[in-house]
């Protein structure tokens, strides 16, 4: 190869004031403007002291940095280069300013961001982001362990059950709403989030959190049926009572504690098991009436408790795999004398065919996709400050950025649920150049960018949305 063909001839200078590093953020910024995010932050966010000055600019800086792929405070400086700030609609705060701002948060100030997300969800629903929201909505409640390092972070010093240190936030994720062929459904939007200390159990504060979540959904326009799904970490009488008190249907994975559930399953005749479509051949379901939480410690009856009600218990049985058989001391190459199954019970007050109800509850596992998106495509894999309140604010700002991507996909790009990584690569991170002509700003994107037409069409749709009010 000749010297003239090598990369050594490429000179690099950083002198273009009109360059825009993440030009596609114009879409998310336009949507947040239509939803009135800046006004909501200005109305609710009152961080004390000089660190709380200009809270809107600082909060939006963090949100837009997260959308661009920043996963730490220092990354906000990337938005200060060239003319990137011109497509965001606000001045970009410096990383040192953002760090001081987050450290000034107490937990009560982070709760102010809860008021912002509550009203933002209602405005997104009003803008048409969630088709069929009024008729029916399904919400998944789950918790996740977020590992931290060192002993300096408040609330994360204790060792969790995994042997690691970190936080244990609660999340309520909208799993889906009815959809039509012309308007694809949307899922994965975080309706509510709550920071908790690392040593909290799965169900710590769950009843209150559920009540607040349902209130948000009702306030956003969910006048029809709400279905709540949860795993066995939320198998508590207080959780069931919270659902009943708020007129919410539920399906919760049950724990096989004691002999009551096991005896009921053992008494089911083989002909009462209904085969289901499952990746393991031989899987089947059955149901029977069961009264959970009727006994206390040592089997003592609690007949005076108001929350004792008979419910449907649906059980899925699946034949064990070869690996499971090997772990249990069976030869996977030789059929046992009696079939060996794993059993997965759940309690529910939902009506409908057993096969459909069980299959729908199984889709609760899809909440892990949203958690993965928050951790690996956003910045929830670490928390940047020593302050518990600052890290609680970081959690909420991550959910706002995550939701803006979901809503931009639905309202602007007119596509259903998609991972943030794809939107970021195709839309947000496109480079551009800002030029001024005829008293207007023109954002020039690279020629032959594969998704340029999608960007321009999405921008027109978002600009056509009415500005939010109230």
Structure confidence at residue 160 (pLDDT): 82
Q: Is residue 138 part of a domain?
A: yes
Domain contains 209: yes
**Containing structural domain, residue 69:** 25-426
> What is the predicted pLDDT for the residue at 372?
95
CA angle, residues 163, 166, 171, in degrees to nearest 5: 115
What is the secondary structure of 307-329 as a DSSP string? T---EEEEEEEEEPPHHHHHHTT
Task: State percent of the chain over pLDDT 70.
Answer: 90
Q: What is the rounded CA–CA span in Å between residue 131 and residue 151?
A: 45
Q: What is the pLDDT of residue 321?
A: 64
Residues of the chain with pLDDT under 50: 1, 181, 297-304, 337
In a domain, 123, yes or no: yes
Residue 157 lies in a domain: yes
Residue 97, domain member (yes or no): yes
| Nearest C-alpha neighbor of 382 from the set 398, 367, 369 | 398
Which ranges of 167-289 would DSSP assign to H, the alpha helix?
206-219, 237-245, 260-266
Is 453 among the domain residues?
no
For residue 436, list its beta bridge partners: 441
Q: Does some domain include residue 84?
A: yes
Place of tokens 């920071």: 195
pLDDT digits (tens, 9 = 90+) for 407-416: 999 999 988 7
The encoded tokens of residue 356 equal 């459909």
**CATH number for the domain that contains residue 74:** 3.90.350.10
Take residue 417 and report the two structure tokens written for it: 């649920």
In a domain, 438, yes or no: no
Rg (CA), the chain: 26
62 secondary structure, DSSP code: H
Report pLDDT for 302.
Answer: 47
Q: Which two tokens stand for residue 58?
A: 């600082």
> Count of domains in the chain?
1
Distances (CA, A) of 301 to 238, 239, 308, 355, 437: 17, 20, 11, 32, 80
Q: What span, in angstroms and rounded, lies between the C-alpha atoms of 243 and 245?
A: 6
pLDDT digits (tens, 9 = 90+) for 349-389: 999 999 999 999 999 999 999 999 999 999 999 899 999 99
Alpha-carbon span 213 to 36, nearest angstrom: 22
pLDDT tens, position by position, 375-384: 999 999 989 9
Over the stretch 391-437, which tens digit does the pLDDT of each residue have? 999 999 999 999 999 999 999 998 877 889 999 999 999 999 999 88
């Amino acid at each position: 190869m000749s010297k003239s063909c090598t990369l050594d001839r490429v000179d690099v200078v950083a002198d273009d004031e009109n360059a825009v590093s993440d030009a596609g953020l114009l879409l998310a910024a336009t949507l947040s403007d239509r939803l009135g995010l800046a006004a909501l932050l200005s109305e609710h966010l009152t961080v004390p002291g000089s660190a709380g000055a200009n809270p809107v600019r600082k909060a939006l800086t963090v949100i837009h940095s997260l959308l661009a792929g920043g996963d730490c405070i220092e990354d906000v400086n990337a938005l200060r280069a060239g003319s990137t700030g011109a497509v965001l609609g606000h001045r970009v705060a410096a990383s040192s300013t953002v760090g001081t701002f987050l450290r000034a948060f107490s937990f009560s100030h982070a709760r102010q961001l809860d008021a912002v997300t509550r009203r933002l969800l209602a405005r997104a629903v009003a803008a048409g982001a969630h088709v069929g929201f009024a008729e029916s909505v399904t919400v998944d409640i789950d918790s996740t362990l977020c590992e931290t390092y060192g002993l300096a972070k408040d609330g994360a010093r204790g060792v969790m059950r995994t042997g690691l240190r970190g936080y244990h936030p609660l999340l309520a994720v909208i799993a889906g709403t009815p959809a039509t062929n012309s308007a694809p459904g949307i899922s994965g939007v975080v309706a509510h989030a709550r920071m908790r200390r690392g040593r909290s159990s799965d169900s710590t504060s769950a009843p209150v959190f559920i009540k607040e979540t349902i209130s948000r959904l009702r306030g956003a326009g969910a006048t029809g049926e709400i279905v709540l799904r949860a795993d066995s970490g939320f198998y508590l009488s207080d959780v069931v009572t919270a659902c009943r008190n708020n007129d919410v249907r539920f399906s919760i994975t049950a724990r096989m504690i004691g002999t009551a559930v096991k005896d009921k399953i053992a008494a089911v005749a083989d002909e009462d098991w209904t085969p289901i479509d499952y990746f393991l051949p031989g899987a089947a379901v059955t149901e029977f009436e069961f009264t959970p939480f009727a006994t206390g410690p040592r089997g003592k009856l609690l007949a005076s408790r108001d929350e004792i009600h008979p419910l449907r218990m649906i059980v899925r049985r699946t034949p064990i795999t070869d690996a499971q058989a090997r772990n249990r001391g069976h030869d996977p190459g030789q059929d046992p004398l009696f079939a060996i199954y794993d059993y997965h019970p759940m309690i529910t007050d939902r009506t409908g065919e057993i096969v459909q109800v069980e299959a729908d509850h199984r889709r609760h596992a899809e909440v892990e996709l949203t958690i993965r998106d928050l951790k690996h495509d956003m910045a929830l894999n670490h928390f940047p400050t020593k302050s518990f309140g600052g890290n609680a604010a970081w959690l909420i700002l991550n959910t706002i950025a995550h939701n803006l991507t979901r809503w931009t996909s639905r309202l602007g790009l007119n596509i259903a649920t998609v991972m943030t990584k794809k939107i970021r690569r195709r839309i947000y991170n496109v480079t551009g150049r800002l030029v001024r002509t005829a008293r207007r700003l023109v954002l020039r994107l690279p020629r032959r960018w594969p998704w340029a037409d999608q960007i321009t069409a999405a921008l027109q749709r978002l600009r056509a949305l009415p500005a939010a009010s109230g």
